[in-house]
């Protein structure tokens, strides 16, 4: 998000935190916000009404209550009212914000249950599994396949293997991708988790598993470099031969042997 939407999201998050602190049912709140996102996605007229900068906040709150009272919890209506009271750069940013707040609520549940690291790891591993399994990728991306069949496939794959927050987020990403690729949706969810926890994620590609000591040393070194906690996501790739490749956001440090060999070949072939 850019411009006014960035500040609007910050204010909306403050309201979300207040609602979370009020003792409401976090799981229900997340489900309700996902449902509201779906309604907004399906109605351009409603998005325009809520994002219209010429309408006052009170009229938008009245509209939210009229449309959603009895269908979602008062907590969800309070969050939606806060979102619509802000000034957004685009209608899409407003509906995106509601989705992000739903994701953030799931992350808050994982943090409270001391499962946040696991949830991030499970989301990352699922995305890698889909990317590396053409048949699965095609089944989940098939626009002709019923949503129910995709949901059942996910249930069979994940049952008993992941935390509830992981399963809920993957279910949402698969069944309501909002026009995005599954990988893009999961990356967005992982970014929300990292920001919520004030933590960076580092994708580490190596040819062989790192020892616990190596992971600890690398985590500490990256933490010193970036001044924040860092969660490692280790990817095994025999094709790198040796060395290590580290990606943090858009920054990449590639010290793999295959890369060095490629560089040498380019140098001597020039």
Each residue's pLDDT tens digit, 207-219: 888 888 888 888 8
* Structure confidence at residue 266 as a pLDDT band (50, 70, 90): low
**Residue closest to 98 by CA, chosen among 164, 175, 192:** 192
Residue 260's pLDDT is what?
54
The Cα 206–Cα 198 span in angstroms is 26
The Cα 74–Cα 32 span in angstroms is 10
Single pTM value for the model: 0.80
pLDDT 10s digits, 132-182: 999 999 999 998 999 999 999 999 999 999 999 999 999 999 999 888 999
- Check: CB of residue 183 under 8 Å from CB of residue 230: no
């Amino acid at each position: 998000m850019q411009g006014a939407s960035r500040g609007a999201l910050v204010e909306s998050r403050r309201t979300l935190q207040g609602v979370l602190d009020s003792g409401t049912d976090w799981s229900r709140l997340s489900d309700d916000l996902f449902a509201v996102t779906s309604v907004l996605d399906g109605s351009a007229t409603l998005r325009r009404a809520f994002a219209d900068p010429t309408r006052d906040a009170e009229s938008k709150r009245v509209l939210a209550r009229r449309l959603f009272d009895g269908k979602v919890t008062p907590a969800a209506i309070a969050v939606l009212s806060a979102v619509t009271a802000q000034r957004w750069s685009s209608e899409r940013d407003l509906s995106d914000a509601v989705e992000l707040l739903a994701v953030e609520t799931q992350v808050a549940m994982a943090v409270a249950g001391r499962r946040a690291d696991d949830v991030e790891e499970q989301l990352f591993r699922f995305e890698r599994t889909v990317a590396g399994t053409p048949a699965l990728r095609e089944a989940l991306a098939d626009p002709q396949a019923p949503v129910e069949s995709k949901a059942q496939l996910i249930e069979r794959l994940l049952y008993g293997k992941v935390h509830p927050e992981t399963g809920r987020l993957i279910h949402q990403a698969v069944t309501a991708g909002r026009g995005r690729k599954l990988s893009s949706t999961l990356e967005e969810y992982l970014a929300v988790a990292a920001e919520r926890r004030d933590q960076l994620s580092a994708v580490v590609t190596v040819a062989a598993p790192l020892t616990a000591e190596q992971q600890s040393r690398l985590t500490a070194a990256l933490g010193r470099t970036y001044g924040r906690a860092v969660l490692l996501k280790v990817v095994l790739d025999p094709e790198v031969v040796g060395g290590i490749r580290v990606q943090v956001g858009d920054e990449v440090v590639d010290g793999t042997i295959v890369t060095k060999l490629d560089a040498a070949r380019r140098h001597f072939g020039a």
